[in-house]
Structure 1
Amino acid sequence: MGASSTGTLHLILFLLLGLGMRAQATTTVTAMIGDTVTLPCEAKLFGDLNLVSWRVRLTDTSNEQLLSYSPSNSKTEMKNIPEYKDRILLNKNFFLNITDVGIKDERVFSCFTLVGSDIDEVPVALKVYKAPLTPEIMDPAAFLDEGVLQKVGVCVVNNTYPMPNVTWQHNDDNVDLNSPDVNVTNNVVTDENGFYEVQSSLSYSSRREEGKVSFICTAIYFEGLNKTSSKTSSPVTLLIHYKSSKVSLQVTPAQDVEEGTNVTISCSGDGYPRPENFNFMKSGEENVVVTDHYELINVTQEDTGEYTCSEQDNPNIKGGVNVTVHYLTLTMNPNKNISKMVGENITLDCLASSSGTVDVTLMKKNKVYQTPLRLDSLQYLHSGTYTCSARLREVKEMKREKAIMIRVEGKPKITKLTKKIVNNTKVITCVVEGFPKPVVQWSINGTAPREESVKDKKSQWNHKITVQPSENITVTCIATNAHGQDQDTVNLTAMRFKEPEDETLEQDPADPTDEKSDSKTDQAKVIVGVIVGLLIAAVIAGVIYWLYKKKSPTSKTKTNERGTADEIKKINKGDNNHTSGSSAV
């Protein structure tokens, strides 16, 4: 029998006996799409091998032979199956090599052998896979609203086989698919090459305390027997938006709002993002602003009150703050500089109006007076600047001050006209009071002498001349201002003669603003009266003694010898006269 006849016989026997082949467990082989895979032949190969054949199950009821090999003639016959043309090869171990593995190759292949009269068949299942591209979260939400089941995004897993398992992670923990705050829907499609595209959509209900949440999605895919791998998307972090549960106000400056200043009332809510538009109200009057603050320019006491604010899109949540505008006004009565005549009366008063408790003081220089202050019978010493000061206790820095000047005017008055001998000259001093400052003129027997400069004392002006009369003269002091004139005279003897004793002029008046001045003035008058009385008594006794001595010749000589010394002593005692007119010498 020929070789061809033998091969045909083997095939017939193979087919006939195949009905009684023993069942074998299926071996599974995996391969990555596009690779070359080798399927092992685990059928009986040792002994009198007559035939090796590979078949493929194209359908559930159809097996097709791919190729067969006869060892007797070392000939391989290929079945004309187009999808495996040029892609299969039987190697020396009778293993089947398939190149460029694709999804359609995921089938069951069988290796058949004929050894002697025994037929053996072992199936081999081919599983193919393709790793997906890295998952990507598409169309992520810009933010999440608190308490709203809101779409986070869609996790897209492309170009993979078989279909992967897509999972979501929230802050590194798997989302709980059983939670009412989570909803996941999957949509699976295949492309023209049969690869899967999975779109997994996640919706999530957030809470404000989370602040922000991070999401990733993971694709878990097949990569071999009992082996899976995974790829993870880049994270998507979303901020939680939530409405304010309360609003609060802040006043700048924070304390002691002073009338006339600018005040800013700022409103803020605890929602996110920070609200920007608010409604401000005072006493029910609404002011809508587009920012988070309300400006009060140059505030007055009318701006005092409670201010409230609320978000424009959440008007039921309100906050409030009380604003007190402190004010302090101070006036003086009289309220401007004033001139008064000597002897007139005036009352000074400090009048304060404020938003709280105010302390008011009236001062002249460093002396504090009670207010109102009544000044009776004004004197020159009352002239000066009087200052009212007011301080608000509630706002230590809030102070007010007003000042006026009181000018006491009067006609000139010569209070002293004195003479004394100094270094063989006679010095005459004229003390004048009055305001405006009197102009003083001197006259000696009708001629004007040169006046020497003398320092003023308080409200009095001192004028002085020095003369050396060679004969008896009359000196006149004339003081003049806008209110009148006063004058006084004093008689001087020639330098070679003695001066008679003069009356003592009255002393400087005491400060009438001093509460002790009245008693001091009375004491001074008593002292002056006593001194004047003693001087008059001494003068009378001296005249009587002089008349007595004049009758004695010896007394005349002694008197002439002592004349100069007695004259000096008497002049030094002073010759004072306060009345207008002349004093005889």
Structure 2
Amino acid sequence: MGAPGTGILHPGLILLLLLGLGMQAQAMSTVTAMVGETVTLSCEADTKGGLSLVSWRMKFNESDIEQLISFSAADNMVIIKEIPGYADRINITKEFSLIISNVGIQDEKIFYCFTLVGINIVETPVSLKVYKIPSNPVIVEPAAFLKEGEQQQVGVCVVSSSYPVADVTWHHEPLDRDSSALVTEYEVTTDEKGYYTTRSTLRYSSKRENRKVSFYCKATYFEGQDKQVSKDSLPVTLFVHYKTSKVSLLVNPAQDIEEGTNVTLLCAGDGYPPPDKFIFSKNGVDKSRNTNQYELTDVTQEDTGEYTCSQQDNPDIKDAVNITVHYLTLTMNPNGDISKMVGENLTMECIPESSGTVDVTLTKRNKVYPNPFMVDSLQYMHSGTYTCLAKIKEVKEMKREKTVIVRVEGMPRINKLTKKVVDNVKVISCVVEGFPKPIVQWSINGTSPRDEPVKDKRSQWNHRITVKPSENITVTCTAINPHGQDQDTVNLTAMRFEEPLDASLEQDPLDSNKKSDSSKGNDQAKVIVGVIVGLLIAAVIAGVVYWLYKKKSPTSKTKTNERGTADEIKKINKGDNNHTSGSSAV
């Protein structure tokens, strides 16, 4: 194939083309190309058997067909016609296909391939379709929000630089695409290059139930002859604004409101955006405006009443609640710690005041007493801390508590003064009662031994001393407090003598164990041994006396003298024995 050239086709060829001798038409084929690509248009004519000429022409309009390029087999030469916009972009291959580079939308035309083989002319039409991928769809001019019941512009979907015109559709959730509330408007324009820009405007009439709606648009276009492609825009979410139709008044705490607590009233409307300006009132009197919250601090029973909140823009929309401030006060009569003397009377009472039903209990050391509690003659056992507890049934955990300390006072009294022998010593115990606590003083024949406090029991106190008397003594226990004194005495024998029984004193009241019994047994054994030793000594003395007497008397005596001497000895022995027994006490 020769080098391309320029000029006009051979005159004979033109004549043949004009005459159209033996012209045959082939079916039209379609080729698709994207803007900027290089496309090849194939010539389907039979080129065997004496090809003379190949010519590519282009249909500019319905009546004008312009030759672009031709090939003469006789000259082996390609001739390109100087047509603006094509001369430098077209060429022909050895298979006689037409090549067009840098395809643009202006190339979307019908091209014809004419071949002359012998005397037969074959026409092969090829339709070139050009497409341009558009920009991504974008929603511009979006609405800030939607108003209930008003048809508003949601936004404008823009798809630019497309060829051919892109199809734009709107999609949204949770609405139906065919909803009658939707209205779309389209506007298509072209730029200087012939590309299309599509603007689709969506209008929508929202409802309260929508709350919020998400919109996006989709651009659908062609890529190739039979290939459809789409692109989605970023979504736009719009909230539906609607007026308040209902107001709710919330109270925190919702119940069991007691004096001294803080109460918060919160008003809310069902509109969107949520309203924040309300009027709070109590029993019809305004308390607060321009807020959605009202605080009651350190409430009292005077805060009880009906509270109302209403929308400031529409006072007819309101809600009301009744607030009851529960109170509970408790006093005790007598009110405060008291002191009473033994034998006096006392009336104690718990007095509650409340907004509901009250349960009252009076206790001392977990023992329940009647309310009021009356005593005709106070004793020391009535001393102690009395507690009143009041609970209101209508309010959980609401209670009050008061305490009164009762002190029963009296002069000292010695309840017991006892003695016993323990481990070869004598223990004296003095049990005293009285209040204030008596001071206990001991005295032994005018001296003061060391006191050994043992045990306290309520209003009684136990004191003791330990002595080991070598002679008979008198022990005195004296108890003293601001109301007077009491005194008692006990006589003790020396440790070598047994204590005589005394019906007025308690013998060995503190110990009844085996150790005490053992001590008592040891004392009895000592007495028995002493008696035996005394009898032996008396017998020895009697024998000595009798021997002395016999030594001084004549050898031969009458029976009468002998008998008299025997009686005298018996009297002496008897007298000695009685003396010895009298001096053997421990």
Give the TM bin, normalised by the shorter chain: 0.5 to 0.7
Deviation at 1:336, TM superposition (A): 1.0
Which residue is equivalent to 1:358?
Answer: 358
Does residue 341 of the first structure (1) align with residue 341 of the second (2)? yes
Q: State how far apart, in whole Å, the 1-side matches of 2:9 and 2:83 are.
A: 25
Question: Secondary structure in 1 aligned to 2:330?
Answer: strand
Distance 1:181 1:210 in 2: 12
- 1:79-118 maps to which residues of 2 (within 5 A)? 79-92=81-94, 94-112=96-114
For the residue of structure 2 that corresponds to 1:180, the secondary structure is coil
Distance 1:312 1:232, change over 3 A: farther
Whole-angstrom CA distance in 2 between matches of 1:241 and 1:217: 20
Residue from 156, 159, 182 that aligns with 2:158: 156
Q: Residues 110, 338 of structure 1: CA spacing in aligned structure 2 closer, same or farther, 3 A cutoff?
A: same
Choose 38-47 or 322-331, whichever is displaced more: 38-47
1:132 aligns with 2:134: yes
* Matched position secondary structure for 1:30: strand
Contact kept in structure 1, 2:39 and 2:103, CA below 8 Å: yes
Assess if the C-alpha contact under 8 Å between 2:263 and 2:296 holds in 1: yes
> Which of 32, 36, 39 is 2:38 aligned to?
36
Q: Distance in 2 between matches of 1:263 and 1:38?
A: 85
Q: How far apart are residue 108 of structure 1 and its match?
A: 3.6
1:520 aligned partner:
none
Assess, with a 3 A threshold, how the Cα gap between structure 1 residues 332 and 43 changes in structure 2: closer, same or farther: same
Q: 1:174 to 1:417 in 2, by over 3 A?
A: closer
Which residue, out of 11, 15, 35, partners 2:14? 11
Identical-residue share of aligned pairs (%)? 56
**Aligned residue in 1 for 2:181:** 181
1:287 maps to: 288
Note if contact 2:442-2:451 (Cα within 8 Å) is conserved in structure 1.
no
CA change 1:315–1:33 in 2 (3 A) is farther
Q: With structure 1 as the length reference, what TM-score do the two structures score?
A: 0.66
Superposed, 1:299-318 pairs within 5 Å as 299-307=299-307, 318=318
Length, aligned pairs only: 504
- CA gap of 1:19–1:355, structure 2 versus 1, over 3 A, is farther
Mapped to 1, the partners of 2:325 and 2:208 lie a distance apart of 39
**Does structure 2 retain, via aligned residues, the 8 Å contact 1:135–1:217?**
yes
SS at match of 2:85: helix
Q: Is the CA contact 1:214–1:235 (under 8 Å) kept in the aligned structure 2?
A: no
Mapped contact 1:183–1:202 kept (Cα < 8 A): yes
Q: Which amino acid aligns with 1:81?
A: I
1:392 aligned partner, one-letter code: I
Find the counterpart in structure 2 of residue 515 from structure 1: none
- Offset from partner CA, 1:423-454 (integer Å, 9 cap, x none): 99999988766543455667899x46548657
Maintained 8 Å contact 1:150/1:204: yes
- Kept after mapping to 2: 8 A contact 1:222/1:229: yes
RMSD: 5.4
Determine helix, strand or coil for the equivalent of 1:104.
Answer: helix
Matched to 2:231, the amino acid is: T
The structure-2 alpha-carbon separation of the partners of 1:23 and 1:317, relative to structure 1 and needing over 3 Å to count, comes to farther
1:426-505 maps to which residues of 2 (within 5 A)?
A: 434-439=434-439, 447=446, 450=449, 459=459, 481-484=481-484
Task: Check conservation: 1:350, 1:362, Cα contact below 8 A.
Answer: yes
- Where 2:352 maps in the other structure, the secondary structure is strand
Quick one: distance in 2 between partners of 1:105 and 1:333? 114
Partner-residue secondary structure (3-state), 1:132 = coil
Q: Which amino acid aligns with 1:181?
A: A
Supply the AA of the counterpart residue of 2:369.
Y
**Structure 2 counterpart of 1:131, one-letter code:** I
Deviates most, 327-336 or 42-51 = 42-51
TM-score (norm 2): 0.66
Q: 1: CA distance between counterparts of 2:366 and 2:320?
A: 47
Cα distance, 1:337 vs structure 2:
1.1
CA distance change for structure 1 residues 182 and 428 in 2, over 3 Å: closer, same or farther?
Answer: closer
1:313–1:188 distance in 2 versus 1, CA, 3 Å = farther
Residue identity in the other structure for 1:56: M
Note the alpha carbon deviations across 1:398-437, whole angstroms, 9 max, x for none.
332211122233455x577979898999999887665434
Can you give the 5+ residue segments of structure 2 that lack an aligned partner in the other structure? 1-6, 507-573
Matched with 2:330 is 330
> Which residue of structure 2 aligns with residue 518 of structure 1?
none
Number of the residue aligned with 2:516: none
Q: Distance in 2 between matches of 1:346 and 1:286?
A: 51
Shift of 1:332: 0.8
Amino acid at match of 2:232: S
- Conserved? CA contact 2:206–2:240, under 8 Å: no
Go from structure 1 to structure 2 and tell me whether the alpha carbon gap of 1:33 and 1:342 turns closer, same or farther (over 3 Å shift). closer
**Alpha-carbon distance in structure 2 between the residues aligned to 1:5 and 1:128:** 30
Q: Deviations over 1:300-354 (max 9, x none)?
A: 3344445555677787665555544433221111111122334443321111122
Give the match's secondary structure for 2:102.
Answer: coil
Structure 2 residue aligned with 1:389 = 389
Q: Name the amino acid aligned to 1:175.
A: R
Residue pair 2:207, 2:240 contacting (<8 A) in 1 also:
no
Which stretch of structure 1 is more off in the superposition, 214-223 or 248-257?
248-257
Compared with structure 1, are the counterparts of its residues 246 and 366 closer, same or farther at alpha carbon in structure 2 (3 Å cutoff)?
Answer: same
